[in-house]
Amino acid sequence: MKIISIIFVTFYSAVLFAAGSHPEDRLLDAVHDIQFSDLNRAEAKLKLLVSEMPNFKLAQLVYADVLMSRVEGLNKPGLGLNSGLEKTLLLREIKNRYQAMNDDFVKDSIPSVLARLDSFYRHAIVVDLSKSRLYLFDNTQALPVLIDDFFVSMGRSGAGKVSEGDLKTPLGVYFVQTYIAPGQLADKYGAGAYPINYPNAWDRLNGKTGHGIWLHGTRSGTYNRPPLASEGCVVLPNKDLLDLGEHIDLKSTPVLMGENIQWLVTEQWQLHKNEMSQLHEQWKSDWESMNVDDYLSHYSTRFTNGEKDFNHWSDHKRRVSKHKTFVNVELLNVSLLMHPNEDVLVATFLQVYASDNFSSQSWKRQYWNKENDGQWRIVFEGEIAAPVAPQLAVADKVLKK
């Protein structure tokens, strides 16, 4: 038996971990055997895997390489592929899968993008497009807890969507809007689809265009797509999409999509949460103080609410404040989420307002931007439809199925 080359180990190496029922776990367990030159054991595992999952192209590739090693050795991963692009994508896929499955740091950390998530939001989804990985968090405990992660595909042109038809996946903070059952979709969308709210207010302020960005499954006869394979959507194997869907609350589950997501240990994350919470609380406090200058200092000169720019907003606030003797603001169900790749904070909350001559209750969403002077200011603020309570969201999704 020939010695496994450095090139092969670069792409197919893995540390020892127990095989699981998920096809990815089984594949990487076989790769572990390859690393330790136990090709007979690896071949047996891969033969069973591809017989059960004939549409798992990456498993087929590794199995073919093991079979060819009997003659060629293991010096050239993907030797049997004719397409250079296909080979590149499959090698990237196994590299991303390997790195994700051995990234122990994420198991004990929290993404900085989840700065604060009220218990109203039962789950959160974080997608690191640079790793082809989707992370699912449970938010019913004291801290967000990572409960599952999945390999995903993104747009053929990569990340950072700007315009209609650019075949890129957007970066930012989004929310699942609805569920589309497979019977209402073309076969290429697989087991269903979860549209998100791209373009959001921040996207529109920056002139971004396009629509129809979904989390969805794969067409029949296909296990998964390569890392770069969609028209901009995030695509999961059908079984993984169904598992993920069990944790999605329509109108309430955030989806944060970025590259090179920053992860923080618990102590760092608590400090980060406190810092961003204090920023938001100071805005509320300055509003209640009735010092209009202090209140307006939290708003950018680029501010808009869709109807008023900063000057009109400022004039309006100064005018109405003259007729009030007190302002009381209560913020409930506060969620503070960070754009993964820009200095943008997205705040969602239920605002209960009362003064001596007016009272109201409404759900709000704000987009804060850290400006050139280092100060965070609000660039957009507007009312949103009330997020659906988790139990109602689940019932609505079941009915649509």
Task: Kindly state the average pLDDT of the residues 31-48.
Answer: 88
Q: Which of 217, 229, 223 is nearest to 185 (CA)?
A: 217
Mean pLDDT, all residues of the chain: 88
pLDDT score recorded for residue 395 = 42
In the predicted structure, residue 95 carries a pLDDT above the cut 60: yes
Task: Kindly state the average pLDDT of the residues 68-95.
Answer: 68
Which domains does the chain show, CATH number per domain?
Answer: 6-101 (no CATH), 104-264 (2.40.440.10), 266-383 (3.10.450.50)
pLDDT score recorded for residue 394 = 44
**Using one digit for the tens of pLDDT, what is the confidence trace for 213-253?**
999 999 999 999 999 999 999 999 999 999 999 999 998 99
For 193, list phi and psi in degrees, rounded to 5.
-150, 145
In the predicted structure, residue 82 carries a pLDDT above the cut 90: no
**Using one digit for the tens of pLDDT, what is the confidence trace for 173-207?**
999 999 999 999 999 999 999 999 999 999 999 99
pLDDT score recorded for residue 66 = 86
Structure tokens at 127: 């997608």
- In contact, 90 and 58? CB cutoff 8 Å: yes
CA 138 to chain centre: 14
Q: Which of 312, 128, 138 is nearest to 227 (CA)?
A: 128
pLDDT score recorded for residue 160 = 97
At 2, the pLDDT band (50, 70, 90 cuts) reads very low
Task: Kindly state the average pLDDT of the residues 126-151.
Answer: 96
Structure tokens at 69: 């090693």
pLDDT score recorded for residue 238 = 96
**Using one digit for the tens of pLDDT, what is the confidence trace for 307-344?**
999 999 999 999 999 989 999 999 999 999 999 999 99
At 71, the pLDDT band (50, 70, 90 cuts) reads low
**pTM for the whole thing?**
0.88
